[in-house]
Structure 1
């Protein structure tokens, strides 16, 4: 439950940050944070599969 809450607030923060970036620059930043988020999710999934969480 807490993990889900953390994930949603992280997502909201990311969306806010993406929203406030000006001009034609956001896409690269958004892609970068998306990749980072995917890596974090993969790491979390590995931990979860091992039964650490």
Structure 2
């Protein structure tokens, strides 16, 4: 999108602005996938629910 291209001009070709065919996206994807894969998210669920409960009580 146009907004993404404008953001790329400001921030450079970072993970969140990279196109999937770019080398930097592929490298970041390879590094981050284990931390954000299905099993990792399941493992974080209990902690996320605890934090959510605390936020609701505020």
Q: Same fold (TM over 0.5)?
A: no
Shorter-chain TM range is 0.3 to 0.5
Larger Rg: 2
The TM-score, its normalising length taken from structure 2, stands at: 0.31
The TM-score, its normalising length taken from structure 1, stands at: 0.33
- Indicate the structure whose relative CO is greater, using CA pairs within 8 Å and at least 6 residues apart: 1
If each structure's helix is expressed as a fraction of its own residues, which one has the higher value? 1
